[in-house]
């Protein structure tokens, strides 16, 4: 024991179900009487599918080996998934020194480990039901609808039935024992056989669980027959759903409360080294109904109806509370916790709820932090935020001296474990299905809050709102402004990189239907190319009819190199070339310090640069011989491997070499020879970006016989090696 307080751990699955709640009620009541505390670890939903054994919510069972429990109780039969049972068994085997007991039906995965186990006696219960029908009702023709004969439990229940018959001198008739499947359709099938006369009607039918009994009752009711005038029916297990069927089913309730109390008592005696009492399976009791005519004094329907009314009231409160809407309005986790506190009343009878989230719950991380940031959401509690190691979470109940029990449940969104929710009660109480919906609302709200700060997610959201350009799918000018501010708030960069493009068309670009269609096609192709390059946290917007702007925080590539790479891919896009000429695309780039990185200033500088580039281009186009030189320039860049030399080019235009070089330099800013090199290097950039050839193969494809010489030229032009260039640029591709 720690700090003088005994801590009993209970391991269950979907403990909101009525069977587990009754066992827990017995456990908690007994531990509370002894001054001990109880912590329950449970998932929320309990799928049978073996593939779901490793789901995020089932990671709750990793806490079994955390803050050491003084003793453990495992609600064995609620683990319907055999893979999950094996995983829990392995966890339990690591705690060889911790007293342990299993409660409920024996299952193979746990039997292999030889864990001690207690349960109510199905044999004794079925004997008691049969005794009642014989002794109180005087029936002798009694049929038993049991479960699958492949299950041991079905034979155990048959054994109790036969034991009672023998005790009363009634011969056993095998045709009165009918194989079922523990579900509605088995009862429906039996009812049809009675109604058709295919099977002889007995005086009474014992159903080995309530679900089969419900099917039997419903089939008679659907046929317009009063089953009580034909056959007396008694169920087994006591499912509260019986109020939805007619006539009201008489059933037998196992003493699960007594079973839970017995399990706790065994462990408490073991811890205190008191002598153990012989275990006697606790006796259950009949719950009266109208499906059996005997002893109507047994009817206690008012208790069930009161519980149903309470559940309905909380369900209506939960549905109409508006909690989910309030949570979506939160801007931070503090507001989120405060709103959770406002709706704490929906968690029936809970004293406190503590929200425990991983430090990095809002990130897309494969392995979350082992630290949890916790806060009590009760409006009247201490709201001091504290950090705790995940594996120490169960031991936190020791801080709540008055708490009788604490429940720890996972908070998951899809397959991401966000953290845990702890619910404290000061009496032997348990949460119900309403809490499951409450906690799902919390998980959905947390994901909504996380996405508010996820720029990448916002970039994937494409709508027809005023924030988006419907033609290109990019942000509009307004949308870009909002997204950019969100990016700055989330990343707080040291610098901002901006790249701008302008598609420059002549005055008559839309003077005809064909030209207008080609202009739109060119615009969309260019937009598609530009959008490929904002895959590493950038944002992109269409800021005017023919202008695009990309913005990056902390870009690792020099702005000019990134802009040139986008331009390269545009020039190698066959669709763009079909609709446009290279001079129609202007580009510029720049970097901004945080104090000058407001969007209006960025737009102003980018516009100034584009205007300056366009003015320069306009001046060049007015140079003599520009259009003749432009045809040569375009051919050079379309066919970088052409063998046209300086003298051949000059001779083709009837110029001497010196004059040709001067006017070529004035028209394009570089000499003919240098432009030829740049054309080959641009081809190399395209191959590095779009393919997987080796550097040597690319050098050869670009006309270089010496790959080392190619690397030197490429590095001199770009300031990075070809391999570095490929890696850098591909990090920014979508």
pLDDT per residue over 387-421, tens digit each?
A: 999 898 888 887 777 778 999 999 999 888 999 99
Structure tokens at 402: 């008055």
- What is the C-alpha to C-alpha distance for residues 383 and 376, in angstroms, rounded to an integer? 6
pLDDT tens column, 527-581: 888 888 766 678 888 888 888 999 988 777 888 888 888 888 888 877 666 555 5
The confidence score (pLDDT) of residue 513 equals 45
Residue 494 pLDDT greater than 60, yes or no:
yes
- CA angle in degrees (0–180, nearest 5) for 422-347-379: 75
Greatest mean pLDDT among 192-201, 241-250, 478-487: 192-201
- What is the C-alpha to C-alpha distance for residues 87 and 102, in angstroms, rounded to an integer? 15
Q: Check if the beta carbon of residue 433 is closer than 8 Å to that of residue 310.
A: no
Residue 3 pLDDT greater than 60, yes or no:
no
Q: Which of 257, 371, 264 is CA-nearest to residue 7? A: 264
Q: Distance of CA 348 to CAs 15, 70, 310, 345, 439, Å?
A: 15, 29, 10, 6, 13
- What is the C-alpha to C-alpha distance for residues 360 and 373, in angstroms, rounded to an integer? 10
**Three-state DSSP class for 339?**
helix
Q: What percent of the chain has pLDDT over 90?
A: 42
Report all structural domains of the chain as residue ranges with CATH numbers, in order of start: 1-116+260-272+321-452 (3.40.50.2300), 122-253+284-308 (3.40.50.2300), 462-594 (3.30.70.270), 626-730 (1.10.10.60)
Q: Check if the beta carbon of residue 346 is closer than 8 Å to that of residue 316.
A: no
Q: What's the rounded mean pLDDT across residues 446-453?
A: 83
Q: What's the rounded mean pLDDT across residues 242-269?
A: 93
Q: What's the rounded mean pLDDT across residues 599-605?
A: 92
pLDDT tens column, 668-716: 888 888 988 898 999 999 999 888 899 999 999 999 999 999 999 999 9
pLDDT tens column, 227-249: 988 999 999 988 888 888 999 99
Residue 507 pLDDT greater than 70, yes or no:
no
Length of the chain: 734
Q: What's the rounded mean pLDDT across residues 72-98?
A: 89
Dihedral of alpha carbons 263, 267, 269, 270, sign: positive
The residue assigned the tokens 């003919």 is 672
Phi and psi angles of residue 421, each rounded to the nearest 5 degrees, phi first? -120, 130
- What is the C-alpha to C-alpha distance for residues 168 and 173, in angstroms, rounded to an integer? 14
Residue 250 carries which DSSP code?
B
The confidence score (pLDDT) of residue 322 equals 83
Give the confidence band of 2 by pLDDT, cuts at 50, 70, 90.
very low
**Three-state DSSP class for 376?**
strand
Q: Average model confidence (pLDDT) for the chain?
A: 85
Give the confidence band of 516 by pLDDT, cuts at 50, 70, 90.
low
Strand partners, 645: none
Q: What is the pTM of this model?
A: 0.63
- What is the C-alpha to C-alpha distance for residues 652 and 639, in angstroms, rounded to an integer? 17
Indicate the Cα dihedral angle 430, 432, 434, 436, nearest 10°: 90
- What is the C-alpha to C-alpha distance for residues 424 and 34, in angstroms, rounded to an integer? 18
């Amino acid at each position: 024991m720690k700090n003088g307080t005994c801590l009993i751990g209970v391991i269950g699955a979907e403990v909101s179900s009525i069977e587990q709640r009754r066992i827990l009620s017995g456990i908690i009541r007994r531990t509370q009487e002894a001054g001990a505390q109880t912590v329950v670890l449970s998932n929320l939903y309990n799928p049978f599918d073996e593939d779901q054994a490793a789901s995020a919510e089932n990671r709750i069972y990793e806490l079994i080996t955390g803050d050491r429990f003084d003793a453990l109780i495992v609600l064995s039969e609620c683990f319907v998934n055999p893979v999950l049972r094996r995983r829990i068994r392995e966890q339990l085997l690591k705690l060889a020194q911790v007293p342990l007991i299993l409660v409920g039906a024996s299952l193979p995965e746990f039997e292999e480990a030889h864990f001690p186990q207690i349960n109510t006696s199905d044999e004794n219960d079925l004997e008691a039901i049969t005794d009642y029908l014989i002794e109180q009702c005087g029936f002798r023709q009694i049929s038993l609808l049991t479960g699958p004969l492949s299950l041991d439990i079905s034979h155990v229940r048959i054994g109790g039935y036969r034991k009672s018959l023998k005790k009363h001198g009634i011969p056993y008739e095998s045709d009165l024992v009918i194989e079922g499947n523990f579900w509605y359709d088995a009862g429906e099938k039996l009812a049809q056989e009675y109604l058709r006369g295919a099977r002889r009607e007995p005086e009474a039918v014992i159903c080995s669980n309530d679900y089969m009994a419900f099917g039997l009752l419903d089939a008679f009711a659907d046929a317009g027959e009063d089953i009580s005038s034909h056959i007396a029916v008694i169920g087994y297990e006591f499912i509260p759903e019986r109020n939805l069927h007619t006539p009201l089913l008489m059933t037998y309730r196992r003493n699960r409360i007594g079973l839970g109390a017995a399990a706790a008592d065994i462990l408490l005696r073991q811890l205190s080294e008191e002598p153990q009492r012989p275990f006697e399976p606790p006796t259950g009791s009949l719950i009266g109904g109208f499906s059996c005519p005997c002893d109507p004094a047994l009817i206690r329907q008012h208790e069930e109806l009161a519980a149903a009314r309470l559940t309905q009231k909380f369900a209506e409160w939960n549905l109409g509370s508006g909690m989910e809407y309030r949570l979506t309005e939160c801007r931070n986790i503090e507001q989120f916790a405060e709103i959770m506190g406002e709706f704490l009343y929906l968690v029936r009878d809970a004293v406190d709820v503590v929200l425990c989230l991983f430090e990095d719950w809002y990130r897309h991380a494969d392995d979350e932090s082992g630290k949890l940031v916790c806060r009590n959401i009760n409006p009247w509690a201490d709201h001091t935020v504290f950090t705790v190691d995940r594996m120490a979470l169960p031991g936190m109940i020791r801080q709540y001296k008055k708490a009788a029990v604490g429940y720890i449940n996972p908070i998951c969104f899809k397959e991401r474990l966000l953290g845990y929710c702890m619910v404290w009660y000061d009496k032997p109480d348990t949460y119900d299905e309403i809490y499951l919906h409450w906690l799902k609302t919390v998980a959905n709200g947390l994901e909504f809050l996380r996405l508010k700060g996820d720029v990448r997610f916002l970039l994937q959201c494409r709508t027809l709102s005023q924030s988006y350009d419907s033609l290109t799918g990019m942000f509009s000018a307004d949308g870009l402004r909002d997204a950019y501010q969100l990016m700055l708030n989330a990343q707080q960069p040291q610098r901002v990189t901006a790249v701008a493009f302008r598609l420059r068309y002549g005055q008559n670009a839309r003077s005809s239907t064909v030209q207008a269609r080609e202009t739109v096609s060119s615009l969309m192709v260019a937009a598609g190319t530009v959008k490929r390059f904002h895959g590493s946290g950038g944002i992109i917007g269409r800021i005017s009819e023919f202008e695009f702007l990309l913005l990056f925080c902390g870009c690792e590539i020099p702005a000019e190199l990134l802009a040139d790479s986008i331009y390269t891919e545009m020039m190698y896009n066959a669709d763009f070339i079909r609709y446009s000429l290279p001079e129609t695309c202007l580009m510029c780039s720049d970097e901004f310090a945080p104090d000058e990185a407001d969007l209006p200033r960025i737009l102003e500088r980018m516009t100034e640069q584009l205007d300056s580039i366009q003015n320069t281009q306009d001046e060049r186009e007015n140079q003599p011989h520009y259009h003749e030189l432009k045809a040569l320039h375009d051919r050079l860049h379309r066919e970088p491997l052409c063998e046209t030399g300086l003298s051949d080019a000059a001779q083709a235009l009837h110029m001497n070499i010196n004059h040709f070089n001067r006017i070529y330099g004035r028209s394009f800013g570089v000499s003919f020879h240098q432009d030829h090199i740049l054309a080959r290097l641009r081809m190399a950039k395209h191959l590095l970006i779009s393919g997987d050839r080796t550097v040597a193969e690319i050098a050869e494809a670009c006309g270089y016989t010496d790959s080392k010489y190619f690397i030197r030229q490429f590095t001199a032009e770009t300031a990075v090696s070809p391999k570095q260039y490929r890696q850098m640029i591909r990090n920014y591709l979508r």
